Amino acid sequence: MSQAFAIAIHGGAGTISPETMTPEKYEAYTEGLKRALDKGYAILEQGGASMDAVQAAVMELEDCPLFNAGKGAVFNHVGKHEMDAAIMNGQDKSAGAVCGISRARNPIQVARAVMEKTEHVLLSGAGADTFVVEQQLPIENDEYFYNQLRYEQWQEALLEGTVQLDHSEKKMGTVGAVALDQAGNLAAATSTGGMTNKKYGRVGDSPLIGAGTWADNRTCAISCTGHGELFMRSVVAYDIACLMEYSGFSLADATDKVVMQKLVTIGGEGGLVAIDNEGNIEMPFNSSGMYRAMRKSDGTIKMAIYK
């Protein structure tokens, strides 16, 4: 079997400026991306499923404190962590997601369990935390999620009275992955800690099927990162699939129209990683940077932060 396979990942988009990037930080971020990319790619190379590849890649990013997901999740208004994640299988459009969970080590693993162990798609809040415990998925205490940088970001946001989109260089948000496997199946996964100092159980686009996450073998797999509210109101991920299915757009044209035109018009800062069923990959963003990487079975490898 020699069907093409490929994976693309992101570690968030935002106003990332080269001026404040030290060589050490650059090295750390690219190292984090590389570990996740390698993990996912290895699964695809061995003939594994795209669902396993995107989950493994996202778990690696969740375990890295540099990215706003899992261990690196930002603090909410009351100094806790509320994490969201979603995973979708392009083969049958089955999906699982969680929002507002606080204790799981790997929210994407919980999303996968929602998909496989329940008849539901989205579980939320305290109820979802109970599900994590009942499923005996790894949980962590506050110490695990504590991170001095995140703590300082929260204190700063508290003082300023602002809700921070985790979008400055110090405050990068959301991780995700999309992949095509050797069986021709697409998958997408997204995970995030949301906004620093967020209140009232705010949920963004990441865990919402069609908004921040989408996969359908007939069209594409998408994982978004950006200003969640505007991504939700634009149903970004499914909009790209519809442009492909109903208007005959290529992946490149559809992602360009949504990210570089439609979202720009409404001030929806961010980007996404996308893959179609031929293994074409697009990683567009309208912010100054997006942590991203991709690797294809034809030997193409790319890793970048700025434009």
Candidates 7, 54, 209, 275: give the one binding a copy of itself (CB under 8 A).
Answer: 209
Candidates 27, 31, 47, 93: give the one binding a copy of itself (CB under 8 A).
Answer: 93
By CB under 8 A, which span of 46-54, 56-64, 172-180, 234-242 interacts with a copy of itself? Answer: 234-242
Question: Are residues 15 and 169 in contact, defined by beta-carbon separation less than 8 angstroms?
Answer: yes
Q: Does 238 bind a copy of itself (CB under 8 A)?
A: yes
In SS3 terms, 214-269 reads as EECCCCEEEEEEECHHHHHHCCHHHHHHHHHHHHCCCHHHHHHHHHHHHHHHCCCC
Is 174 one of the catalytic residues?
Answer: yes
Q: Which among 94, 72, 52, 42 is positioned nearest to 213, based on CA atoms?
A: 94
Q: Whole-number minimum distance, CB 246 to a copy of itself, in Å?
A: 4
Q: Does 242 bind a copy of itself (CB under 8 A)?
A: yes
Q: Does 211 bind a copy of itself (CB under 8 A)?
A: yes
What are the phi and psi torsion angles at 176 (to 5°)? -170, 165
Q: Does 303 bind a copy of itself (CB under 8 A)?
A: no
By CB under 8 A, which span of 20-28, 51-59, 127-135, 176-184 interacts with a copy of itself? Answer: 127-135
Q: Does 261 bind a copy of itself (CB under 8 A)?
A: no
By CB under 8 A, which span of 30-38, 167-175, 232-240, 293-301 interacts with a copy of itself? Answer: 232-240
DSSP state of 240: H
β-pair type (122-124, 94-101): parallel
Question: Are residues 231 and 241 in contact, defined by beta-carbon separation less than 8 angstroms?
Answer: no
Q: Token pair for residue 168? A: 């400055």
Strand order in the sheet with 220-226: 213-215, 220-226, 270-276, 281-282
What residues line the site for a copy of itself (CB under 8 A)?
A: 82, 93-95, 99-100, 118-128, 130-131, 163, 199-204, 208-211, 228-229, 232-235, 238-239, 242-243, 246-247
